[in-house]
């Protein structure tokens, strides 16, 4: 089975017509090859400021339209599906990055999301628009992730939408924009472009995050290193 290698940003393989740099794609055909055999369920939380984009990612994973991209709810939505031979639970959130959301409302949404993903999410999918991701949005997103846990960045994957006006070099230019670049760094350089993204590649990356965290859900991620030899409770 192909091994995943964390590629530092300065050495990522060049792809496409322009100088955009993206991680080398990986292909695995079945989810049991990328998730621990003992793990029967994968719990994912979708975050970002575009309901349409988050819904599209969720529908891609599930292989069918479960989230309506045109109708954004005011509460978290939980959908269960099966991908190959694994159960997948997706929690799609409302716009937690809205500039006028109160701290009380934000806390309520996060607590509801935690409840819906009980006993805890395995991966956060951060669905972002490259040209719209400002420093203010980065701070809001970090605040949301920290409400879950200060270890949530270790369990996050950044998914970047293609710029609306794509010209040669624009994708790499946006990726190097300080707010997005800093977030990618905090997430241990885990990112994918949504353009032409295929499910096997996405599942491979999700599986690698699970493996790197030893299958731990977020609730377990703060355990001390003294327990690393114990099998994770998933």
List, for the chain, all residue ranges whose pLDDT scores fall below the cut of 50: 1-32, 220-234
**Residue-level pLDDT at 83:** 85
**Residue-level pLDDT at 166:** 67
**Residue-level pLDDT at 215:** 63
Q: How far apart are CA 105 and CA 83, in angstroms?
A: 33
Q: What contacts 63, CB < 8 A, 6 or more positions away?
A: 81, 83, 199
Q: Copy the structure tokens of residue 225.
A: 């290193």
Condensed to tens digits (0 to 9), the pLDDT of residues 67-102 reads 999 998 899 999 999 887 789 999 999 999 999 999
- Nearest Cα neighbor of 59 from 219, 199, 225, 158 is 199
pTM, 2 dp: 0.77
Q: What contacts 166, CB < 8 A, 6 or more positions away?
A: none
**Residue-level pLDDT at 214:** 73
Q: Would you say how long the chain is, in residues?
A: 234
Q: Copy the structure tokens of residue 127.
A: 């669905």
Q: Which domains does the chain have, with CATH numbers?
A: 36-221 (3.40.50.300)
**Residue-level pLDDT at 57:** 95
Condensed to tens digits (0 to 9), the pLDDT of residues 159-172 reads 998 776 666 766 77
């Amino acid at each position: 089975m192909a091994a995943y290698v964390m590629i530092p940003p300065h050495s990522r393989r060049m792809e496409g017509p322009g100088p955009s740099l993206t991680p080398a794609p990986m292909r695995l055909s079945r989810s049991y090859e990328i998730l621990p055999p003992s793990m029967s369920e994968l719990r994912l939380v979708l975050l970002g400021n575009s309901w349409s984009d988050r819904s599209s990612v969720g529908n891609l994973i599930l292989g069918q339209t479960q989230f309506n991209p045109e109708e954004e709810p005011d509460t978290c939505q939980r959908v269960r599906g099966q991908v190959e031979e694994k159960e997948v639970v997706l929690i799609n959130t409302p716009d937690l990055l809205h500039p006028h959301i109160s701290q009380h409302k934000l806390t309520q949404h996060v607590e509801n999301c935690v409840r819906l993903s009980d006993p805890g999410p395995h991966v956060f999918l951060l669905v972002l628009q490259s040209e719209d991701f400002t420093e203010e949005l980065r701070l809001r997103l970090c605040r949301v992730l920290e409400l879950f846990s200060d270890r949530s960045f270790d369990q996050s994957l950044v998914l970047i939408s293609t710029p609306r006006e794509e010209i040669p070099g624009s994708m790499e230019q946006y990726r190097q924009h300080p707010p997005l670049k800093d977030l990618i760094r905090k997430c241990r350089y885990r990112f994918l472009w949504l353009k032409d993204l295929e499910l096997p590649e996405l599942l491979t990356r999700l599986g690698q995050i699970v493996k790197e965290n030893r299958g731990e859900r977020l609730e377990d991620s703060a355990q001390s290193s003294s327990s690393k030899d114990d099998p994770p409770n998933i």
